[in-house]
């Protein structure tokens, strides 16, 4: 027997053993058996094919037929070559069972990271909105056209989390003169966040313009972040009245960096944490704003309902101060509904630290045993479009949330490890949208002769993972000033 044949048999045996071990690990749960796991670089980069490589975007691509046409609450991906066997669930009940029980095996999140001064968020959003109006000349215009509103939303949410979360005095216009404008650099950094983690440093020396632009963008944004860190380090050297760090995340990170004991952070740790918190904190909100604005433009009747509610709330309360989101329920329902259809988080990943038993309803009512070490992905895209949870799941219908509680909003997760920025993001979104709707009517920026139905199909059908958030790729919009 020749050496190539021996090697071929050996490799085939190795991968067959890996595959069978994966099947056993998930209890032979039905599901795709591709070559590559969607969670690997191969799954993210290679073209989508259900049998060979479903891709990291599989849940969106097959959103109408996934989970065997939603006849299974839980499925398992078991790849032949690259990646580990992983459970996926489209069940809201299973999600609550597992995430709601995390307090048995995980610590609660620190209080100082789960609370926020929401009145400050509201005021900061409105202050930035006025600043945008002055800098961009909105105050003198009756119409604003966006070829794509994504960049604007990305910059807006980045500025808000910079000011509220990290205490930066970030201006809307930086005044920096570089070969790449900061908003462009920020957009490119967001789009290439995962790619930056995968690629080695030497790759940026290769003669490819996109890689060089990507490196330039990261350099510009990193330089801005580093300047802010060093400035805060100098500010922290001056003691506050009570001797504690200033009450924002950046001050706590810098205080840990300057701490001389062994548990202190290094400079690169502070920068890494800054990037993680900032991009996780603003990309998802940016994606949510883009989606709800697009839906408002298409469904004018829903926009009008939200506008009337805003007018009523603003007539009774001072809009410059914090307004309870419970007084803007239609707007909040619209945000939840848009996130049901286009969940910014996409998936919530978990790895079991102990054996767990879950109760499933489909395909038959039974108990499933999940082994310690198993990976499970809570599929927010599939949960939001599951016809067993939401009637007519493909239809944008904010009023459906009247019969649901806030605890059924899956996009923020459940239990003690749910999203720490939930209230922050909701307050930011409601403050921005209410202020915008009060002055502007959101309309589609359609192609010549294009109907709203075709616009919806073209724009809202083009969604993918952009950076760390799932959302619409490019949304052209038009703002028309309301005559108040």
Specify binding-site residues for heme. Answer: 419
Which secondary-structure segment (H or E) carries 151?
helix 150-166
81 Ramachandran zone, left/alpha/beta (phi>0; psi -120 to 50): alpha
Question: Which pairs from 19-25 meet CB under 8 Å and 24+ separation?
Answer: 19/78, 19/79, 19/80, 22/78, 22/79, 22/84, 22/85, 23/78, 23/85, 25/85, 25/371, 25/374
**Which residues are registered as beta bridge partners of 367?**
359
Pairing label, strands 366-370, 469-472:
unpaired
The structure tokens listed for 323 are 């307004």
How far is 141 from 133, CA to CA, in rounded Å?
Answer: 9
- For Cα atoms 83, 341, 386, give the angle at the middle one, nearest 5 degrees: 70
Quickly tell me which residue has 């697009």 as its tokens: 294
Query: What distances in angstroms separate CA 380 from CA 104, 201, 220, 290, 385, one per listed residue?
Result: 23, 34, 33, 18, 9
Per DSSP, 47 falls in state: P
Quickly tell me which residue has 């404008």 as its tokens: 181
Are 313 and 328 within 8 A, CB to CB? yes
- 472: buried, middle or exposed (CB in 10 Å: 19+, 13-18, 0-12)? buried
State how far Cα 481 lies from the chain centre.
30
- 329-341 helix and 422-439 helix, angle to the nearest 10 degrees: 110
Quickly tell me which residue has 């909701």 as its tokens: 426
- 79: buried, middle or exposed (CB in 10 Å: 19+, 13-18, 0-12)? buried
How far is 217 from 185, CA to CA, in rounded Å?
Answer: 4
Are 357 and 367 within 8 A, CB to CB? yes
Contacts of 45 (CB under 8 A, 6+ apart): none
């Amino acid at each position: 027997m020749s050496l190539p044949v021996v090697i071929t048999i050996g490799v085939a045996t190795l991968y067959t053993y890996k595959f069978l071990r994966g099947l056993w690990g998930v209890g032979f749960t039905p599901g795709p058996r591709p070559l590559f796991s969607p969670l690997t670089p191969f799954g993210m980069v290679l073209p989508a094919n259900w049998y060979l490589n479903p891709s990291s975007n599989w849940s969106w691509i097959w959103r109408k037929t996934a989970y065997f046409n939603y006849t299974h609450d839980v499925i398992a991906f078991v790849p032949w070559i690259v990646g580990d066997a992983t459970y996926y669930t489209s069940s809201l009940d299973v999600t609550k069972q597992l995430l709601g029980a995390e307090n048995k095996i995980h610590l609660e999140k620190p209080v100082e990271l789960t609370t926020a001064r929401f009145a400050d968020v509201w005021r900061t959003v409105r202050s930035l909105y006025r600043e945008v109006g002055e800098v961009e000349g909105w105050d003198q215009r009756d119409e604003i056209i966006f070829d794509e509103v994504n960049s604007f939303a990305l910059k807006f949410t980045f500025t808000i989390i910079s000011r509220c979360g990290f205490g930066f005095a970030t201006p809307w216009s930086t005044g920096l003169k570089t070969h790449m404008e900061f908003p462009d650099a920020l957009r490119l950094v967001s789009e290439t966040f995962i790619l930056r983690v995968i690629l080695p440093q030497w790759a940026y020396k290769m003669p490819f313009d996109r890689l060089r632009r990507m490196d330039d963008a990261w350099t510009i944004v990193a330089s801005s972040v580093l300047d802010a860190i060093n400035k805060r380090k100098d500010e922290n050297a001056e003691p506050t009245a009570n001797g504690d760090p200033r009450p924002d995340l950046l001050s706590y990170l810098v205080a840990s960096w300057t701490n001389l004991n062994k548990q202190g952070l290094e400079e690169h740790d502070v920068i890494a944490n800054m990037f993680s918190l900032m991009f996780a904190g603003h990309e998802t909100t940016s994606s949510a704003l883009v989606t709800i604005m697009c839906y408002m433009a298409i469904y004018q009747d829903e926009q009008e309902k939200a506008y009337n509610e805003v007018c009523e709330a603003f007539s009774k309360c001072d809009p410059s101060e914090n307004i309870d989101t419970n007084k803007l329920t239609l707007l909040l329902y619209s945000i939840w509904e848009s996130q049901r259809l286009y969940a910014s988080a996409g998936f919530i990943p978990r790895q079991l630290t102990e054996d767990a038993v879950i109760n499933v309803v489909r395909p038959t009512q039974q108990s499933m045993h999940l082994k310690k070490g198993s990976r499970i992905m809570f599929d927010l895209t599939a949960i939001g479009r599951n016809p067993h949870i939401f009637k007519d799941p493909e239809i944008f219908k904010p009023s459906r949330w009247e019969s649901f509680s806030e605890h059924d909003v899956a996009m923020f997760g459940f239990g003690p490890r749910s999203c720490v920025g939930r209230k922050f993001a909701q307050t930011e979104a409601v403050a921005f949208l209410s202020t915008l709707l009060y002055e502007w009517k959101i309309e589609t920026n359609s192609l010549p002769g294009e109907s709203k139905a075709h616009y919806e199909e073209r724009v809202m059908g083009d969604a993918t993972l952009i950076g760390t958030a799932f959302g619409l790729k490019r949304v052209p919009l038009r703002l028309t000033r309301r005559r108040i």
